[in-house]
Amino acid sequence: MAKLVPSCLATAFAVILGAASPGPAAGEEPVKVELKGVHMCCPGCAKEAAAVVKKVDGVSAVATTQKERSVRFTAPDAKTAQKAVDALSAAGFHGEPTGKVVAFKDDSRVKAGKVASLTVTGFHNSCEGCVESFREAIKDVKGVTSDTAKEKDKTATVTGEFDAVELVKALNKAGFHVKVKD
């Protein structure tokens, strides 16, 4: 019994000191992820994207590059890497992974067809630059005539006579993850 106590104490201290922090599973290599085309109109957007990813347990080496509109990080496994991408989506960011380990889910709920109005919600929008980027993204969608995007409001209605799927694709391409409001 005397040998059991020191062993338990050693394990407890290792957990407390972080020596038992999450790492790759046996035989599994860490996953390096790069996401390109993520919305980053300003240093604030880049910091927000980095902060979102850093909150995911096990993720390390988080870096964002505003000029390249990229997010890079390392995760101990594919499941953790996907959690980080899902967290970015939930925060309204979208991008294109350079590999096949992770993916942004198509959870926009957009229905195919022409519409006169479409309300999208959940997109990252923290400054006037975000609004400008939103408008820049939708300006080439044939038939769009106006929008209600306002700084810090994560919901906007787009009007005109346009293809709903094309609007969502344009926003995703610009780095915004959106959902169609019911």
The domain defined by 114-180 carries CATH number 3.30.70.100: yes
Is pLDDT at 17 greater than 80 in this prediction? no
Q: Where does 26-97 sit in CATH, by number?
A: 3.30.70.100
For the beta sheet containing 155-163, the strands, ordered from the edge strand earlier in sequence to the opposite edge, are: 144-147, 155-163, 114-121, 179-180
Supply φ then ψ for residue 134, to 5 degrees: -60, -50
> What is the rounded CA–CA span in Å between residue 164 and residue 112?
6
| H or E segment and range at residue 83 | helix 78-90
pLDDT band at 19 (very low <50, low <70, confident <90, very high): very low
Confidence of residue 28 (pLDDT cuts 50, 70, 90): confident
Average pLDDT (56-79) is: 97
Q: Indicate if the pLDDT at residue 148 is higher than 50.
A: yes
pLDDT above 50 for 11: no
Average pLDDT over residues 99-114: 96
Lowest-confidence region among 2-6, 102-106, 109-113, 129-133: 2-6
- 82: Cβ contacts below 8 Å, ≥ 6 apart: 101, 102, 103
Query: Rounded to an integer, what distance in angstroms lies between the CA atom of residue 56 and that of residue 71?
Result: 14
Q: What is the mean pLDDT of residues 150-161?
A: 97
Is residue 39's pLDDT more than 90? yes
pLDDT at 182: 77
* Residue 156 reports pLDDT greater than 90: yes
Q: According to CATH, where is 3.30.70.100 located in the chain?
A: 26-97, 114-180
86: part of which helix (H) or strand (E)?
helix 78-90
